[in-house]
Structure 1
């Protein structure tokens, strides 16, 4: 299996070298909005540890990502008045992975509304900022 590349885009976001719309952070996990969301509130949850994907992450770091993804999903149900949540996670190119730093997609869903195709449309910064604010507030309240 290929090794972890510390210059991937998510590693740069974690180091503060690239901007993002952060919604959650703790000692092991960082979560931010996808700038090309498949639905409003589409969030990426990733470990701070350098892990290429599910195949090489330490079990404790994976557990922290799973717990944070659940927190984000619960908050997204409230913040976006969602009817459900889609959770996706891809491993290696053949498995659909595009950025090679482990990440979980948490996508709020409305009944009867299809998701946009992956990486199809960049969202406006002001909309992402407002969505990040709403989701971060829902996460803080509980």
Structure 2
């Protein structure tokens, strides 16, 4: 039996403006913002603005919009942090490691020889997140 979408999840609250975030990109269908528990500086998240638990129940239209934005954000993150690579991750259901049940893609700049930080390592300073968001927004614009 499918589990219903929970409108009380943290990303739904961000979309409703109940929880602040460091937005880097927004359009009619998607929102991209900084992960507050980043695995690397520049770790961003991309979500659809409409309810979907994950890739398994998203509509083709939601997926098309969120993947297009993920590509745009990945290019900007790579440029903003002068990273030789970028990791894009997406989890489906608890057994895969999904902890927020709203479809989302992680975009993480990668450097050889640099380990990722634990994702549950605690929130990062909001000043640093704001600076990283500004860097990515500048890369999106230029």
TM-score range, shorter chain: over 0.9
Let me know the Cα RMSD of the aligned residues. Answer: 0.8
C-alpha separation between the residues in 2 aligned to 1:17 and 1:72?
A: 24
Instruction: Write out aligned runs for 1:74-89 (5 A).
Output: 74-89=75-90
Q: Does 1:37 align with 2:25?
A: no
1:110 offset after TM fit, Å?
1.4
C-alpha separation between the residues in 2 aligned to 1:51 and 1:102?
A: 6
C-alpha separation between the residues in 1 aligned to 2:28 and 2:73?
A: 16
3-state SS, counterpart of residue 135 of structure 1 = helix
- Residue matched to 2:6: 5
C-alpha separation between the residues in 2 aligned to 1:107 and 1:119?
A: 15
TM-score, normalised on structure 2? 0.97
C-alpha separation between the residues in 1 aligned to 2:137 and 2:122?
A: 23
1:18 offset after TM fit, Å?
0.5
Instruction: Write out aligned runs for 1:14-93 (5 A).
Output: 14-93=15-94
Of the structure 1 ranges 112-121 and 82-91, higher mean CA displacement relative to structure 2 is found in: 112-121
1:132 offset after TM fit, Å?
0.5
3-state SS, counterpart of residue 74 of structure 1 = helix
C-alpha separation between the residues in 1 aligned to 2:78 and 2:93?
A: 29
- Structure 1 gaps, min length 5: none
TM-score, normalised on structure 1? 0.97
Number of residue pairs aligned between Structure 1 and Structure 2: 141
- Structure 2 gaps, min length 5: none
Of the structure 1 ranges 117-126 and 22-31, higher mean CA displacement relative to structure 2 is found in: 117-126
